[in-house]
């Protein structure tokens, strides 16, 4: 029997395909058109302790092969998430991973404690890497702070912990190691790259907040490189993110060392993509003669060039 399930330390998922935070809303809008029980997991938009209005518009702009966004974690806060959305999300039939963000370690821990009241939650994903929120990226750029917040959340709740990391650092490997040392069960790689879109005639940035986060196909080669480097150096399961818009894209992340993947920007133009990928995965693994997803994870054969890249020389 073909086994599509994947294990990320304490977190077991029915298959490796998830929808990324911030790209699928609260999933309710798609309930009439999709069988969510087919997914490996659902990650709703980031939840913060208190409501956030988000950044001023414009909040998104298309770029060459990508999307630059500056949403600013617009959400109604933890109380509203619990009262208005949590029950419906838990009833969709797929593991629910709640993505949370706080201004400091105490806020992260307090949110984890509150969510512990709902044991049906599968895991928490810590957004310590948002590129367009003041102060939000600091945790993910500092190994000590990364380990501190992961450790505090792990002590505050029984859930598996996923740290979502930023690529906007000199070495993601060092941050991933810090998350591992803090007790993370997995890391999500990667969040968006900081970028700028400009209207040169007006001499102004296009986004209302100026700087935004770049996602989409343009970042896939960079995301693959980071996933592969972390997989070579850090003993922790990886959830790969960055420009996945086809089955081949997904498989590239798996062979580079990701145990699971998140579909993000592609959800905006093809909301059914994640469900299609699940069906394709079964077919291709069977054709390859693989008994499980783990048979292909981390099977990239490094060349001399990639060996040099992994060592930084």
Q: pLDDT, tens digit, for every residue of 82-109?
A: 999 999 999 999 999 999 999 999 999 9
Q: How far apart are CA 44 and CA 255, in angstroms?
A: 27
Give the residue among 56, 64, 95 at the shortest CA–CA distance from 260. Answer: 95
Flag whether pLDDT at 191 surpasses 60: yes
More confident residue, 122 or 137: 122
- Sort strands 186-189 and 161-164 into parallel, antiparallel or unpaired: parallel
pLDDT for res 308? 60
pLDDT for res 307? 61
Structure tokens at 197: 């879109």
pLDDT for res 92? 93
List residues with catalytic annotation.
Answer: 130
Percent of the chain with pLDDT over 70: 94
Q: How far apart are CA 213 and CA 67, in angstroms?
A: 8
| Yes or no: domain 6-54+73-199+215-311 corresponds to CATH 3.20.20.70 | yes
pLDDT band at 34 (very low <50, low <70, confident <90, very high): confident
pTM greater than 0.75 (yes/no): yes
pLDDT for res 312? 56
Q: How far apart are CA 224 and CA 4, in angstroms?
A: 22
* Mean pLDDT value of segment 194-220: 96
């Amino acid at each position: 029997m073909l086994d599509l399930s994947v294990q990320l330390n304490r977190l077991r998922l029915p298959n490796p395909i998830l929808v990324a935070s911030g790209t699928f809303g609260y999933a309710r809008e798609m309930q009439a058109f999709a069988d969510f029980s087919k997914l490996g997991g659902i990650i709703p938009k980031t939840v913060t302790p208190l409501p956030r209005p988000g950044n001023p518009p414009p909040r998104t702009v298309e770029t060459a092969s990508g999307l630059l966004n500056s949403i600013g974690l617009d959400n109604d806060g933890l109380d509203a998430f619990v009262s208005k959305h949590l029950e419906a999300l838990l009833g969709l039939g797929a593991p629910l991973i709640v993505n949370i963000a706080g201004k400091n370690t105490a806020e992260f821990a307090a949110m984890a404690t509150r969510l512990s009241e709902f044991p049906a939650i599968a895991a928490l994903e810590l957004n310590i890497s948002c590129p367009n929120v003041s102060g939000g990226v600091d945790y993910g750029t500092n190994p000590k702070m990364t380990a501190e917040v992961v450790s505090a959340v792990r002590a505050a709740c029984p859930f598996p912990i996923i740290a979502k990391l930023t690529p906007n650092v000199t070495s993601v490997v060092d941050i991933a190691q810090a998350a591992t040392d803090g007790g993370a069960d997995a890391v999500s790689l990667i969040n968006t790259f900081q970028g700028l879109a400009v209207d040169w005639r007006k001499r102004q940035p296009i986004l209302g907040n100026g700087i935004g986060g770049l996602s989409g196909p343009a970042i896939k080669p960079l995301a693959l490189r980071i996933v592969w480097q972390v997989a070579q150096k850090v003993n922790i399961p990886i959830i790969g993110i960055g420009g996945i818009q086809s089955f081949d894209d997904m498989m590239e992340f798996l062979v580079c060392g990701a145990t699971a993947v998140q579909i993000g920007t592609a959800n905006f133009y093809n909301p059914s993509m994640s469900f299609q990928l699940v069906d394709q995965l079964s077919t291709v693994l069977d054709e390859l003669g693989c008994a499980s997803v783990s048979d292909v994870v981390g099977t990239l054969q490094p060349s001399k060039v990639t060996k040099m890249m992994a060592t930084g020389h």
